[in-house]
Amino acid sequence: MIGLKLGFEVSGEWSRRLAALTLLANAIESLIAEYGCSNVCVMEPKELNEVIHEDLVLCFSSCEEAPSKGFELDEMKSLGLIPKYELVPCNTSVTKCISEDAVLNYVIKCFDYMISYVRSYALRTAIEGREYIVVTLKNGRAALFEGEEGRVRLPDVGIIASAHTHPRGCIPSPHDIRTLINTLFNGGVGIAITSVDCTLKIVRCGPFTEDDLIELQRFRSVLRRGDLSRIRDVIKKGVIGRNIKVILKVE
C-alpha cells in the first residue's frame, strides 16, 4: 500500500454488522434478478442489529423459479458473518418482513460508527494536511490507515465502505468518486468524507444501475472542472442518478 501506514485495526460488532448487512442487501438484489422474484425479504432476525448472531431466514414470492441458494448468502456463511440461512416461500401469516430498502437504510446508519473512528483525526488533518481513512472489508474487518498530505489512496482489496478525512470542507475529489464507483462495482455501499467543518456520506439506497454510473461520471467531470455552483447543486439535491444518496451534515 504505497503512501499508507497501518495505524491499527478497529474491527468490532459494528464492522461485522456493516459487512453482513451489505452482503445481505446484495443477496436480496441477486435473488430478485436471478430468479425473477417479485419480492424477497428478511423474516428473521426480528431486529437488523442481530443479523450476525442469528440464523438468517429469507422469504420469497412470485418467482419464475424457486430459489434454493444465493451466492452472497453462501459468502456470508463462509466468512462467519451468519451461522446459516434458509430460503422459504412467503405466506399470508408473515407479519414482519424486512425489505432491501430497510436493510440499506440501516447500513447507512452503520456508517456513523465508521466515521466516529476517523473523525477524531479530522483536527490533525486540518493542522498537518495529512489525511486518514477507515475501511471495512467483506469479511467484517476494519482498519485505520494514515495517508499522505492532501490525499489517501488504497488499492482495490474488497473494500465495501470507507471514510476519510479532508483538511477543510467535504467536497469530494474526482479520485474520491472513482473510489466510490469501484466500491459500488464490487458490491460495496459507499464512502464518507469528514472534516472539522462537516461530514458527507455518498451511499447507494438501491441497486447500482447504469444510470447511477453515468451520473457519477458526470459528477466527476464537474469536480474536475471545479464548478462549485454545480457541485453545490448536486449535494443540495441529495441524490445522484436513481439510487445514490448524498447526505451532508454541517458541524
Q: What average pLDDT score do residues 117-140 get?
A: 91
| Multiple choice CATH, 5-13+104-250, 1.10.10, 2.60.40, 3.40.140, 3.30.410 | 3.40.140
pLDDT digit string, tens, across residues 170-204: 999 999 999 999 999 999 999 999 999 999 999 99
Mean pLDDT for the chain overall: 88
State whether residue 168 is helix, strand or coil: coil
- Using DSSP, state whether 247 is helix, strand or coil: strand
This prediction has a pTM of: 0.89
* pLDDT at residue number 154: 62
Domain positions in the chain: 5-13+104-250, 22-100
CA angle 180, 245, 232 (to 5 degrees): 90
β-strand partners of 159: 137
The pLDDT assigned to 2 comes to 38
